[in-house]
Structure 1
Amino acid sequence: MRHSLSHLFHKSVSTKFHDASGLLKGCTMLLVLLGFSLAATAQNTVVKGTITDAKTHEPLGYVTVAFAGSTRAASTNDQGKFTLTATDSHYTQLKVSFVGYKTVLKTIEAGKEQMVNIALWEDKQVLNEVVVKAGKKSKYHNKGNPAVELIRKVIAHKNQNRLENYNYAEYRQYERMNFYLSNLSEKFKNKRLFKNYQFMFQEQDSTAIGGKNLLPIYMEEKLSQNYYRKAPYAKKQIIEGTKQVKYDEKFIDNQGLSAYFNRLYQDINIYDNNVSLVTNQLLSPIADHSPDFYKFFITDTLKDQSPQLIELSFTPRNTNDLLFEGKLYVTMDGNYAVERALLTVNKNINLNFVRQMQTTLAFEKNADGKYHLSQSDLKMEFGINKNKGGGIYGERKVILDSFMVNKVQAKQVYDGPAQVYAMNSDSKDDKYWTMSRPDTIPPAQAGIYKNIDSLQTIPSFKRTADLVTLFVAGYKNLGPFEVGPVNTFYSFNPVEGFRGRLGGRSTPEFSKRYYFETYGAYGTRDQQFKYFLSSTYSLNNKSIYAFPQSYVRASYQHDTKIPGQELQFVEEDNFLLSFKRGNNDVWLYNNIFRLDYVHEFENHFSYHVGFKKWDQSPAGALYFKNLVGAQLSNVNEVHTSEVSLELRYAPHERFYQGKLYRTPIIDRYPIFTLRYNQGINGLWGGNYNYQNVTANINKRFYLSQLGYTDVTAEGNYIFGNGIPFPLLDIHHANQTYAFQLQSYNLMNFLEFVSDHYASINIDHNFNGFFFNKVPLFKKLKWREIVDVKALWGGVRSQNNPANNASLLRFPLNGSGSAGTYTLNNGPYVEGSVGVGNILKLLRVDLVHRFTYLDNPGAPAWGIRTMIKFDF
């Protein structure tokens, strides 16, 4: 809230002078202060108003409004509104300029606050002369091209026009995201579901992004104060207010939904070499090497405004590549700064599901003559079909004001986490938002919060949400209890035969402190019952599925397991995993009691302390045998008791919390994990002493036009002697036909074990960099992928049954030859070349195994598939 000086002085005086003895003195002071306040007000020239198109009467956003003859200017918001203030009293004219419109000079009254609305007429003679020549089209060249020379000057001046050029900076930021079901037909609009809620629909010009009919589904607002310090580097955001549409947590993770939308609609900094858009990175038109990928053209010169601007149009050299097209407006005042930018993407771009995209950036001049971002507006529409049918339209608008440079704040302002929430930031009322928004929003848009709340009370909407949850997440909600996951109700394998399973868990509707989970299963071949029971107590009075977690859990499981099978985001007895290649009869029966304590912090550091009592017995073709005297003797069970500690740090991590798993929203930030397990002989029946240490780093590297690389590096060492093979590291194998990123896709179950190892997995997606140049693939929009996995390891002599007769023998295969091996003869290496984005969701890899090909049943080649949704 901005208050005039007179208002502040009135308020001050009214609170100071209450007693009669000070009345005369107070009145005298009041007259003096009023005199000063009136004089001060007389010095201020404040102009507010709206700029519109004279023909259509539509508001015009990002129009430059300035005091004539000065550098003091402002831009209109998307509603066409502006506010321009000056402490000098001699300004008598307002200058309004916008690309494609005639510049307007408007007389104003100096030293007064006034409302001025201006309508701009289209300028049909922007260019002084247009020459049309017939003949052969000249080939585009960078050399000698004035547009390229200009963009090189913009590139050379990038650093001085970046925020990072200042030692200190601060600003206030407002951001708003809106999402709608878009391009809806009248038939959809008139469905019975929406019969009494027609007011929810919003109509717009049918040519606009999203089509005529829009149905709001989400809205989020955030108001923050931001601080930047160059050295030591610090960037701090204090969120003063936040508000979002809330859905029933039974169906949707609101926190994860917000994280996902914020990942898709990130800040666009045109001064960065690469700009994040959805889950990809597009090369900025002012990147260091942008002339190698873009064509630039000078299309206009705007001489009737200060500073003068050059309109620079650009387009990709290859329209399939991940590049922008649009226009830049470059200042000719020596800064070579971007004063305004209009960014779109070509319809041929190798970007999935994006129907349309439009970004508008506006920059304002600082007191030192440099420019800073003042507004950005990113609009995108997504759809399964790029040309027709319903879709999702989203818009993210950011407005920066109160920008100040080189103002030093106290050290504690910059210290601490990069983002913090002020107390009660999520409980601001409607009055706060009405007063705090730097722009106004239509009543229909502001009513989204209440409309969505009303929508969720409709029985038909609840039934629809319930069905979608059952189909997508696999759970049927029954109030305090939910049944699932349904894809585990039926499966089969060589050991259990047909396996039926039924389970479920309690929900926060039952209790926010206590949670219970259970399932029961039965195999028709082994005729054994399996079961699982767990009880969890939340320590922070939040759902145990919500971030940050803090809980204690006790569980007991009696079930089967394939040694060395490691799965991500899927249950082990999922029906689709019933189909496997080769022999799949090496199994375990497990009895596992666990006691776990998990604690997460807001900065995404977490620790996990656990106790595990584990009894393993062989199943199927697997056996446990050791040497007693000269005879091999069967061992029924291996008993261990261990305590564990896991430390995990995932800076800036974002994810969507599903019913079973957290689905990570992958970004460029690394994830560090350190695990320690201590086996204790004699504790609760445990028979072994050992220490197991594992360190893991996972990171995505973005390589601009060459795509991105996901790298996972891991190392492990087991300290201890006389450790049987079930307690060694059984390397993650995969005998399904699905391509698994964190498993060895041509390794057989229990084929390799180690007591020390180092591994690296590299998965690189070129994002169509090469295929975009090949005519057929260019239309298919396939993407080329290369994957390499290497594993170095071994078993020390004291843990190798070939050297230690007391240890369990490595198992043999069905033909009596060795089935389990060490890596003492060199690394295991496999690689693949793949084609992704087939039908926008399928990845197919041709996998080759390079080493240990003499092992029985070792496949040299294989084809694996993977379903993956990529933008």
Structure 2
Amino acid sequence: MDICVRAVVYGIWIVIGVLTGAWQASAQTTVRGVVADADTKEPLPFVNIVFKGTTIGSTTDINGRYTITTHTTNEELHFSFLGYKTVIRKVKVGETQEMNVRLTSDAQVLQEVTVTTQGRERYRNKNNPAVDLVREMIEHKEQNRMTHYDYVEYEQYEKLQMSLSNLSDKFKERKLFRKYKWMFENVDTTTIKGKALLPIYLQENLTDKYYQRSPEQNKSVVKAHQKVSFDDYIDNQGVSTYLNYLYNDIDIYENNITLLTNQFLSPIANSAPTFYKFYITDTLKDQTPKLVELSFAPRDAGGFLFQGRLYVTLDSNYAVQRVDMTVNKNINLNWVRELFINQEFEQMEDGKFQVVKSRMRADFGITQGRGGLYGERVVSYKNFVINQPRPEGFFDGEKKQQEKEAEGHTEEYWLANRHDSLSHAESKVYQNIDSLQKVPSFRRTMDIATLLLAGYKSFGWWELGPVNTFYSFNPVEGFRLRVGGRTTPKFNERLYFETYGAYGFKDEKWKYFLSATYSFTGKSIWQFPVRTLRVSYQHDMKIPGQELQFIQEDNFLLSFKRGVNDKWLYNDIWVVDYLHEFDNHISYRVGFKNWKQMPAGGLRYERESEDLLQPVPNVVTSEINLEFRWAPGEQFYQGKLYRIPIPNRYPIFTARFVGGIKNLFNSQYNYQNVALNIYKRVYLSQFGYTDVVLEGGYIFGTVPFPLLAIHRANQTYSYQLQSYNLMNFLEFVSDKYVSLSFDHYFNGFIFNKIPLLKKLKWREVATFKLLYGSIRQENDPRYNSAVFAFPTNDQGVETTYSLRPEPYMEASAGIANIFKLIRVDVVKRLSYLDHPEVSQWGIRARFKFDF
């Protein structure tokens, strides 16, 4: 399962699930139709449509179409557009209706402003003054950006809040929520007219920001920080990180703007005239400097593009003075019902305009007619200081103030230093959520939700789980039962224990695991940056060559496998491991591993002696392990089991060294194994993005095949990103190899242009994986009888191979976002098709949660 999903959903939506259930909103009024010119009958884009007395509004798209929905009882709908007389229409409350409107020109208004033809002629970029203006803005982008200055410093205030929206009276009266009625007294009906908001999450930051252009350096000093905490149930820091990733900083001058895990093309990107239509819809001559209202809309209504208005200065800067934009309702975006972005700019002492306030609002929900989740991020900037150098070494100091120093400020401090005041409902959210977590029934409900979503049931100092490993089956063990758990910080903040026991009813053997971990930071062993020492012992089973990401090997769903799956290992593994992470996301790991592996099932360890194959009962190795990892700018969500990275534009480098030492604790071999892995996500704007992974490795020394690189195979029916999905377990081994994989997500670039598929909001994916390697003669049983013979099947045919002379290749094409959760791939194996018991084609699926 792809887990930006489960982990973050578990982080945020666990609270929503407890508080919301499946409530019904009040009666819904929906109006849709087309607005056109009364004389020419041409559709009018960007017409303002609003319910009287509210801020509930919409605009027509490039084809004059609109849809507007409200849960209020307002009966009047206003249609207004520059150069036309306003039209007022009555609507039927609580019904869905179609309303086509014709607007009549207002000659008096037209004499006061300069406007374009508003779509009455075929749209062209050539000789279009709006496009000429955009090109001037593009040419002047760099001089209007903050990075144009040699030095900049300012104070930044950030507020991020999440609220449940449109709770009906019927919902509040449900038996489940009777004990929480006092929470509903904090509903806010004033911030967004037409929406009733119940705040459930709030975080605030006050930060001093410093920038130097050459050499480019940044520094942030967090002066104050506070947020709602659910630390007993979720990774609170991870939730904060993920929410900030969804509500990313917006720079209108960037070519691409990342929001809600997707990249949107800026309306003033270098290629904007190719993807957008532009119109001059007003001139504001009473402003200084004079402003032009520039309206824009996507040429492709389904693309990851904005629509809205830019207010542009007509002086020599061609700078943005204000931005109001949203996205088209036809966009291939999950769960998002509404999205609004507003930015305000002010003129600095040097005449340039810089952003002073940025506001992003998003309304999430499954359907239009039900309640949902409303989120808002407001960032404001003040106290700008331009081009005043800082002393040498200033940027080399502490980048971020210690967390404890930034927390614990009094409410008086916040009242004096907030750039914006909190609403009445927001001001109570800290106290209300803290009180809610002390209610026994709420804690019981959260415990159940944690068990179902994260797999653990907490008993205070002890957690039982993970539950998805309690039952599984395989050809060697038959039915397998397992139970285990681990201590929590309530047991000891520095020392942690974990254990499990399992029993196979076919092989009638017990398996078990025990570990002890010491935290040198005095914080949880899962809290970044980690610095721990871990000692563990495991007696259990494993499939050679199966490496899983974000999932346990004995997960019940992985019990279902294709083909022959009888080559297993019994393992006795001692591990001592030290991990040290730094704030700059450089980390290193040093460890020792003693591993005794014994073949099981259909796997045999055999060595040729006097022309006969003699069985070898086990392989014992002692290894020194070194790992270096650098992940610049990395962010992640820390789940109960795994740390799930949040992708960004930076590469991740991982280098590993393993050294086997003969005769140390009965070790039988000397060898050295080096490997390098590089991961990079490449964003391609409107064409989606590609995940690229390059890996290579080399093994020095003479070793049998169990100690060679056993390439990652997958015989389950799930699609695994890091494995070869049509390769059999233990099919290929190498002592030197290089691999390259591409996984491209088109984000609906093709399907959005096909009417039926456009409504389904499916997304295209394509992958290609290549693996090339070989085995030196000293490690190949065909040339060296001292190493183990390759495994065979029941007919005596070898089932393990070298990759020489051609590479292993497979490709897939698939559809993602089916029911907004499922990805299905058709996979084709492109080489080594003559191997026994292999599949040339396959269908694989996985769960993937995306916006």
- Give 1:369's aligned residue: 351
Aligned partner letter, 1:194: Y
CA contact 1:417–1:603 (8 Å) conserved in 2 = no
Cα pair distance change 1:391/1:136, threshold 3 Å? closer
CA contact 2:115–2:280 (8 Å) conserved in 1 = no
- Give 1:289's aligned residue: 271
- Give 1:273's aligned residue: 255
SS at structure 1 position matched to 2:179: helix
The answer to whether residue 137 in structure 2 is matched with residue 154 in structure 1 is: yes
Structure 1 Cα separation of the partners of residues 107 and 223 of structure 2: 46
- Give 1:203's aligned residue: 189
Q: Which residue of 502, 508, 514 corresponds with 1:533?
A: 514
Structure 2 Cα separation of the partners of residues 344 and 755 of structure 1: 54
Superposed structure 1 runs of 4+ greater than 4 Å apart = 55-58, 123-127, 129-137, 205-208, 416-423
SS at structure 1 position matched to 2:721: coil
- Give 1:653's aligned residue: 634
RMSD between superposed Cα atoms in Å: 2.1
CA contact 2:115–2:282 (8 Å) conserved in 1 = no
Structure 2 Cα separation of the partners of residues 735 and 278 of structure 1: 33
- Give 2:676's aligned residue: 695
Aligned partner letter, 1:662: R
CA contact 2:676–2:696 (8 Å) conserved in 1 = yes
Instruction: Identify the structure with bigger relative contact order (alpha carbons < 8 Å, sequence gap 6+).
Output: 2
Q: Which residue of 700, 719, 723 corresponds with 1:743?
A: 723
Q: Which residue of 313, 326, 330 corresponds with 1:331?
A: 313
Aligned residues: 749
SS at structure 2 position matched to 1:194: helix
**By how many angstroms is 1:205 displaced?**
6.8
CA offsets, 1:440-497, max 9 Å, x none? 2223312211111111111121111111101100111111111111111111111110
Structure 1 Cα separation of the partners of residues 514 and 778 of structure 2: 38
Q: Which residue of 135, 139, 144 corresponds with 2:127?
A: 144
Structure 2 Cα separation of the partners of residues 617 and 127 of structure 1: 87
Cα pair distance change 1:232/1:125, threshold 3 Å? farther
**By how many angstroms is 1:236 displaced?**
1.6
CA contact 1:240–1:421 (8 Å) conserved in 2 = no
CA contact 1:127–1:300 (8 Å) conserved in 2 = no
Structure 2 Cα separation of the partners of residues 541 and 819 of structure 1: 50
Length-normalised TM-score, structure 1: 0.84
- Give 1:830's aligned residue: 810
CA offsets, 1:333-367, max 9 Å, x none? 12110000001011111111111111110111111
Cα pair distance change 1:136/1:200, threshold 3 Å? closer
Cα pair distance change 1:392/1:591, threshold 3 Å? same
**By how many angstroms is 1:782 displaced?**
1.1
Cα pair distance change 1:764/1:136, threshold 3 Å? closer
Cα pair distance change 1:366/1:133, threshold 3 Å? closer
CA offsets, 1:28-74, max 9 Å, x none? xxxxxxxxxxxxxxxxxxxxxxxxxxx9799xxxxxxxxxxxxxxxx
**Larger-gyration structure (1/2):** 1
Aligned partner letter, 2:190: Q
CA contact 1:357–1:381 (8 Å) conserved in 2 = yes
- 1:715-730 equivalences under 5 Å are 715-721=696-702, 723-730=703-710
CA contact 2:114–2:283 (8 Å) conserved in 1 = no
The answer to whether residue 600 in structure 2 is matched with residue 614 in structure 1 is: no
**By how many angstroms is 1:388 displaced?**
2.4
Structure 2 Cα separation of the partners of residues 187 and 204 of structure 1: 21
CA contact 1:564–1:733 (8 Å) conserved in 2 = yes
SS at structure 2 position matched to 1:193: helix
- Give 1:546's aligned residue: 527
- Give 1:185's aligned residue: 168
Aligned partner letter, 2:171: F
**By how many angstroms is 1:414 displaced?**
2.1
SS at structure 1 position matched to 2:315: coil
Structure 1 Cα separation of the partners of residues 411 and 771 of structure 2: 58
Q: Which residue of 405, 410, 420 corresponds with 1:439?
A: 420
The answer to whether residue 180 in structure 2 is matched with residue 194 in structure 1 is: yes
Cα pair distance change 1:805/1:679, threshold 3 Å? same
CA offsets, 1:73-119, max 9 Å, x none? xxxxxxxxxxxxxxxxxxxxxxxxxx99xxxxxxxxxxxxxxxxxxx
Mark the runs of 5 or more structure 1 residues left unpaired by the alignment.
1-54, 59-98, 101-122
- 1:114-263 equivalences under 5 Å are 128=111, 137-190=120-173, 191-204=177-190, 207-208=193-194, 211-212=195-196, 214-247=197-230, 249-263=231-245
Q: Which residue of 472, 489, 499 corresponds with 1:508?
A: 489
- 1:343-492 equivalences under 5 Å are 343-385=325-367, 387-415=368-396, 419-421=400-402, 424-492=405-473
Higher deviation after alignment, 232-241 or 579-588: 232-241
CA contact 1:240–1:422 (8 Å) conserved in 2 = no
Structure 1 Cα separation of the partners of residues 464 and 115 of structure 2: 71
Length-normalised TM-score, structure 2: 0.86
Structure 2 Cα separation of the partners of residues 128 and 361 of structure 1: 30
Structure 2 Cα separation of the partners of residues 327 and 135 of structure 1: 14
Structure 1 Cα separation of the partners of residues 476 and 483 of structure 2: 19
Cα pair distance change 1:233/1:205, threshold 3 Å? closer
**By how many angstroms is 1:182 displaced?**
1.8
Structure 2 Cα separation of the partners of residues 698 and 594 of structure 1: 27
Cα pair distance change 1:295/1:132, threshold 3 Å? closer
SS at structure 1 position matched to 2:287: coil
Structure 1 Cα separation of the partners of residues 193 and 303 of structure 2: 26
CA contact 2:115–2:281 (8 Å) conserved in 1 = no
Aligned partner letter, 2:830: F
CA contact 2:677–2:693 (8 Å) conserved in 1 = yes
SS at structure 1 position matched to 2:814: strand
Structure 1 Cα separation of the partners of residues 380 and 243 of structure 2: 18
Cα pair distance change 1:130/1:647, threshold 3 Å? closer
CA contact 1:356–1:381 (8 Å) conserved in 2 = yes
CA contact 1:238–1:422 (8 Å) conserved in 2 = no
Cα pair distance change 1:131/1:800, threshold 3 Å? closer
- Give 2:691's aligned residue: 710
CA offsets, 1:247-280, max 9 Å, x none? 1x23111110110111001110000000011101
Higher deviation after alignment, 510-519 or 617-626: 510-519
Structure 1 Cα separation of the partners of residues 292 and 764 of structure 2: 39
Cα pair distance change 1:328/1:135, threshold 3 Å? closer
Cα pair distance change 1:132/1:334, threshold 3 Å? closer
CA offsets, 1:624-678, max 9 Å, x none? 0001222211111000001111111111111111111111111212111111111
- Give 1:856's aligned residue: 836
Structure 1 Cα separation of the partners of residues 648 and 808 of structure 2: 29
CA contact 2:335–2:365 (8 Å) conserved in 1 = yes
Aligned partner letter, 1:204: T
Structure 2 Cα separation of the partners of residues 757 and 665 of structure 1: 28
SS at structure 2 position matched to 1:435: helix
Structure 2 Cα separation of the partners of residues 354 and 590 of structure 1: 48
CA offsets, 1:715-740, max 9 Å, x none? 1011112x011011100000001110
Cα pair distance change 1:816/1:623, threshold 3 Å? same
Cα pair distance change 1:623/1:443, threshold 3 Å? same
Cα pair distance change 1:286/1:417, threshold 3 Å? farther
**By how many angstroms is 1:503 displaced?**
0.8
CA contact 2:118–2:279 (8 Å) conserved in 1 = no
Higher deviation after alignment, 625-634 or 635-644: 625-634
- Give 1:591's aligned residue: 572
CA contact 2:147–2:213 (8 Å) conserved in 1 = yes
CA offsets, 1:300-327, max 9 Å, x none? 1100121111001111111110000000
CA contact 1:178–1:218 (8 Å) conserved in 2 = yes
SS at structure 2 position matched to 1:187: helix
